[in-house]
């Protein structure tokens, strides 16, 4: 895919503040319609990268393009929705009056706004709060309203900085569903987060940053390979005195599941375990190879960096 067809293209991007390198030669590409997760601790350079892509900060060196155009071009910025991490919404507004204000700034006609605003308020769980001023909103409600604002003009690219911050588990599920629907509609969603599990559950591709460097980038499947263990679930737990040959069982982190460690990593090792399950009169209700997680990868990268330094 050529650079002009990419949603985001970054090549050897650097940003320095005096002697501090906020970005130190970052390169990445994001194809249209991708749910892309950018991971890293505070200070890793994630927000600096997003601000450069939005044209809010000028890079020290390197190049970046958005929807095939150099960052900062007005035509590209019109196609972008943005939810910053620490947004400040004018609290004297109600949700509808705020969205009407932002929609007018974005060039939406009154007819478009009257159709779009009630739809978004219902979509994001704010229906029934139309008369309440934003000063009475919880943090989670303000986050939902900020997301509604970013979606108002039907952008082609969404930049979301910690989009589920301050939102309860039910609300996080609702927002994940909204973002998946945006992806199905062809929108590129670029999420900046430190919530590894959330990103792993939602995103197609991820990248991990640390101290201005891009450490790894790829699909979730590429970065979380299978482990030499299996997760199993039984209809009734196996007896404590049951002897297993060629493997070892221990309770897994997930409730109701066991982790099977196979002594020999051969293709038929799991078959021998299943034969023992059958002979013992046990019935399986769950069986899957265990995968590494983004947290495993992140901790491995952090440990190797400490050892190198």
The pLDDT mean for the chain works out to 88
Please state the φ and ψ torsions of residue 146, each to the nearest 5 degrees: -60, -40
Cβ contact 171:164 at 8 Å: yes
* pLDDT value of position 267: 66
pLDDT at 13 over 90: yes
The pLDDT value given to residue 53:
93
The per-residue pLDDT for 300 is 80
Edge-first strand order for the sheet with 8-17 is 20-30, 8-17, 61-66, 69-70
In whole angstroms, what is the distance from residue 95 CA to residue 146 CA?
10
Domain ranges within the chain, ordered by starting residue: 226-291
> Residue 134 has which token pair?
């934003």
Asked if residue 67 lies in contact with residue 76, where contact means CB atoms within 8 angstroms, the answer is yes
H or E stretch at 130: none
Q: What are residue 260's phi and psi, to 5 degrees?
A: -105, 120
Average pLDDT of the residues in 112-139: 92
Angle at 28 between CA 207 and CA 79, to 5 degrees: 100
In terms of CATH, what superfamily is 226-291? Alpha-L RNA-binding motif (3.30.70.1560)
- Closest-CA residue to 178 (of 96, 83, 113): 83
Residues 103 and 112: beta-carbon distance below 8 Å: yes
The pLDDT value recorded for residue 152 is 94
Q: pLDDT for 63-90, tens place per residue?
A: 999 998 999 888 888 999 999 887 888 8
């Amino acid at each position: 895919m050529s650079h002009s067809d990419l949603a985001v293209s970054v090549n050897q991007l650097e940003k320095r503040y005096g002697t501090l390198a906020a970005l130190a030669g970052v390169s990445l590409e994001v194809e249209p319609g991708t749910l892309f997760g950018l991971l890293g601790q505070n200070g890793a350079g994630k927000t600096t990268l997003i601000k450069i892509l939005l044209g809010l900060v000028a890079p020290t060196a390197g190049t970046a393009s958005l929807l095939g155009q150099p960052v900062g071009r007005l035509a590209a910025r019109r196609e972008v929705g943005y939810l910053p991490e620490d947004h400040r919404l004018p609290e004297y507004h109600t949700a509808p009056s705020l969205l009407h204000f932002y929609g007018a700034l974005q060039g939406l006609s009154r007819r478009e706004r009257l159709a779009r605003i009630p739809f978004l308020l219902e979509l994001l769980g704010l229906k029934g709060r139309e008369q309440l001023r934003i000063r009475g909103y919880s943090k989670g409600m303000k986050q939902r309203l900020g997301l509604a604002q970013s979606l108002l003009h039907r952008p082609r690219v969404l930049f979301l900085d910690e989009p589920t911050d301050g939102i309860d588990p039910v609300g996080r599920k609702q927002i994940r569903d909204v973002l998946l629907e945006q992806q199905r509609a062809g929108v590129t969603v670029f999420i900046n987060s430190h919530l590894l599990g959330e990103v792993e559950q939602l995103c197609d591709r991820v990248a991990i940053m640390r101290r201005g460097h891009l450490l790894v980038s790829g699909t979730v499947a590429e970065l979380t390979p299978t482990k030499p263990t299996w997760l199993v679930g039984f209809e009734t737990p196996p007896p404590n005195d049951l002897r297993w040959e060629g493997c070892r069982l221990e309770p897994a982190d997930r409730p109701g599941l066991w982790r099977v460690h196979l002594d020999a990593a051969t293709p038929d090792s799991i078959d021998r375990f299943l034969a023992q399950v059958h002979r013992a009169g046990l019935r399986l209700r769950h069986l899957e190879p265990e995968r590494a997680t983004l947290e495993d990868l992140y901790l491995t990268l952090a440990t190797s960096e400490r050892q190198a330094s």
